[in-house]
Amino acid sequence: MEIIFKQDEKDNFISAINFLIHEVETCIQRNVLTQHGKVSVKGTSRKDINIKLDFLKKYNYSYKIGLGNAGGFLNEDSWIIFVRNDLLASNLINGEKLTATKGIYIFIAFSGYFSDDKHIQLSFGFSSRRHEFIEA
């Protein structure tokens, strides 16, 4: 099934990526460190990103946002992953719940912010081999 986004949907998608970048840069500027000396994600919000990406539901897509990890600190890559809902089932590789640790999905990441090599990464492929993804 071909999906053709309307202009406002394209704008919302771009805005969601910009909100992701904004949240990461805000964390870095605040420079609040966790007990392990890592940059804390405390005070970040996925709300604006969720609002902008909500239109994907009508196209039968799910998404997940990753800013920080369970330890409360900023990931090396902050990302949004996308998958068609028909690929989420117990008998399929993705399983029933969308996760960044297994399955096949589209991966958009904001990377390199700790090494002054900021860039957006677009990848397609298997999460268990993320380093082998095709990057655009």
Inter-residue contact 39 to 80 (CB < 8 Å): no
Cα dihedral across residues 48, 97, 101, 73: positive or negative: positive
Q: Rounded CA gap, 77 and 87, in Å?
A: 24
pTM across the whole model? 0.80
Work out the mean pLDDT of the chain and round it to a whole number: 84
More confident site: 10 or 85: 10
Per-residue pLDDT tens digits for 39-64: 999 888 899 999 999 999 999 888 98
Would you list the domain boundaries of the chain? 7-135
Predicted local distance difference test score (pLDDT) of residue 33: 92
> Tell me, what amino acid is at 87?
L
Among 55, 50, 76, CA closest to 65: 50
